[in-house]
Amino acid sequence: MPDLSQPKVIRSTADHSKFEILKKKFRKSRDITKACLSCHNVSAKQIHKTKHWNWEFTHTKTGQKLGARNIINTFFGGTASNEASCSHCHIGSGWKGNKFDYKREENVDCLICHDTTGKYAFKKFHTARGNCGVCHEEIPESPGKKKHKTDLNEVALNVGPTSRRTCGSCHFLGGGGINVKHGDLDSSLTRPSYDLDVHMDADGLNFTCTSCHSTDQHAVRGSRYENEINDIGGRTIPGKAAARRSSCASCHGERPMKNDKLNDHTDKVACQTCHIPSIARGGHATKMRWDWSTSGKLDANGKPFLKKDKKGNVIYSTQKGDSVWAENVVPDYIWSDRTAKYTLLGDKIDPSKTVAINTFMGSADKSLSRISPVKKSRGKQPYDAGNNRLVAVNLFALHRFAKDKSAYWRNLDWPRAIAKGMKAAGKEFSGKVGFVETEMLWPVTHMVAPADKALGCDECHSKNGRLENINGIYIPSRDTKPVLEWLGLGMFLISLFGVMIHTMMRILTRNRRNNGGVKP
């Protein structure tokens, strides 16, 4: 975490600690939002149009309605019936149970993104509204008894630009704990070293998240729903109408390296493939597999329990089942043209096969496709065995709503918890529960290593190298094609024969000159 003992550096054109309207006594964050809106009078209207607010995104190519409201994942399944706990990471305030007024301007929570003290997110995440298991692998025995007090007036007087810490307060904890979900996003990026990320290096370039995820009227570019492998618009330069910096090429261009041979790779290989050799290398493991089918076991005393590995990672818990963690993970590689299709709640599945939660489009013959790194999150999760569909599960036992006994983490009863989740999602449920293998892909784009630690040629140009499963492209030293091999050998032999003939001719003519047969 940043050293808060250091004097605050004000880079904004306004020092909010001088504003009289922010000096009054605040009891609720919404009261601070009202004060913010008295000057920033269109901010809430802008926020209301974003996927950060609506948790919805309609993909322009696939037409699928995505976003946290609609997708299923390999971690907590989905948000249906779990909104109150999931709202920890929503940029709004004022949730009551699973209900929320999306149209009310003062419900925008300005502080979750603009607090510079680092105290507000801690307060918001430790309210009685949620469940400790949302973020904590190891759940306290007495959740909710400890009170977390934060001085809202101090927070109000110290608002400012977003930072790695404010963005990370949600995104570093995705999936229920540090680095559970992404693998390339964890709290080590709050103050990263040069080796961990050359752009975010706290003592160097010190990029914040918005240095690349550029914003326009509070809409943030770049997400897994509209992942930008390359930038078809070219470099972002002053005066350019479309201010986009959400790909490497936006700043570095398509041929950024001094070596032209390396530049020849950029039309097929994403920058991240070579420059992010591994993920989860900041000291926090990432969860690679989550098996819900083994959850629900109790110890000899009939109590929930958990197990940890030698590094303290929870590898089994009654609430979550078995987990597999790993550090310094080598990514998987796929073709991607930045378009992904998702398996949604209403889609039929084949439970005899691994279900792909999302599939990235792309192939070697598509000009926008690049070989790209991903984290493959695997798991085993419940499905409707009668209708062969994935399901939403009412998972969280809310402390405030303790009478809700249908939550899985309260009763360990899958049919009951799924019935409520599917009802909340407006979907049919047969009552039959099975477990199916699933796989979800997460684009890798953070933790960019220094150039001297990028992949060497032999990492890919070799048998059993990193790109052994990439098809549709000939990779020298990995592939053997008899025609090419014989053609190459033939050209070599022809060249060798030509050199030998030429050499012999030179020798013969020299001898003739030496013998006086030919005048120079």
User: For residue 98, what are its two tokens?
Assistant: 């699973």
Q: Which two tokens stand for residue 404?
A: 């809700």
CA-angle at 285, arms to 284 and 291, nearest 5°: 145
**pLDDT band for position 8 (cuts 50, 70, 90):** low
Closest CA to 68 of 94, 96, 104, 92: 92
Rounded-to-integer distance, Cα 221 and Cα 243, Å: 10
Report pLDDT digits (tens) over 378-389.
999 999 999 999
* Predicted pLDDT at 118: 84
Specify the pairing of strand 321-326 against strand 314-317.
antiparallel
Please report, rounded to a whole number, the percentage of residues in the chain having pLDDT higher than 90. Answer: 57
The larger pLDDT score, comparing residue 140 to residue 278, is at: 278
How confident is the model over 1-23, as a mean pLDDT?
69
pLDDT tens digits, residue range 245-279? Answer: 667 888 888 888 989 999 999 999 999 999 999 99
482: tokens are 């008899």
pLDDT tens, position by position, 173-229: 888 889 999 999 999 999 999 999 999 999 999 999 988 888 889 988 877 777 665
Of the chain, the percentage scoring pLDDT greater than 70 comes to 87
User: What is the number of other CB atoms lying within 10 angstroms of the CB of residue 253?
Assistant: 14
Cα 406–Cα 407–Cα 409 angle in degrees, nearest 5: 135
Three-class DSSP labels, 400-445: CCCCCCCCHHHHCCHHHHHHHHHHHHCCCCCCCEEEEEEEEEEECC
- Classify each residue of 121-139 as buried b or exposed e, where b means 16 or more C-beta atoms within 10 Å of its C-beta: bebbbbeebbbbbbbebeb
Reading the block at residue 121, the tokens are 């997110």
Q: Among 51-65, 119-133, 286-300, whose mean pLDDT is lowest?
A: 119-133
**Would you mind telling me the total number of residues written for the chain in this entry?**
520
Residue 286: partners with Cβ closer than 8 Å, 6 or more residues away: 179, 180, 181, 182, 183, 186, 279, 280, 325, 326, 327, 329, 375
Residue 433 has pLDDT above 90, yes or no: yes
> How many whole angstroms separate alpha carbon 343 and alpha carbon 359?
9
pLDDT in tens, 343-352: 999 899 999 9
pLDDT band at residue 397 under the 50/70/90 scheme: low
As a whole number, the mean pLDDT across the chain is 86
CB burial readout 389-406, b (16+ within 10 A) else e: bbbbbbbbbbbeeeebeb
pLDDT band at 2 (very low <50, low <70, confident <90, very high): very low
Reported as a pLDDT band with limits 50, 70 and 90, residue 82 is: confident
Angle at 322 between CA 319 and CA 327, to 5 degrees: 120
Per-residue pLDDT tens over the stretch 454-512: 999 999 999 999 999 999 999 998 988 777 778 888 888 999 999 999 999 888 888 77
Angle made by CA atoms 78, 84, 87, in degrees to the nearest 5: 80
The count of C-alpha atoms lying within 13 angstroms of the C-alpha of 453, restricted to the half-sphere facing its C-beta, is: 12
- Give residue-wise pLDDT tens across range 285-337: 999 999 999 999 999 999 999 999 999 999 999 999 999 999 999 999 999 98
The predicted structure's pLDDT at residue 142: 55
Confidence (pTM)? 0.85
Task: Check residue 221 and give its pLDDT.
Answer: 81
How far apart CA 421 and CA 136 sit, in angstroms, is: 22
Sign for the CA dihedral angle at 107, 113, 114, 116 comes to positive
Mean pLDDT of 227-253: 66
- Nearest-angstrom CA–CA distance, 480 and 131: 55
Q: Phi and psi (nearest 5°) for 40?
A: -85, 70
Tell me how far apart the alpha carbons of residues 351 and 437 are, in angstroms, rounded to a whole number: 8
| pLDDT score of 15 | 87
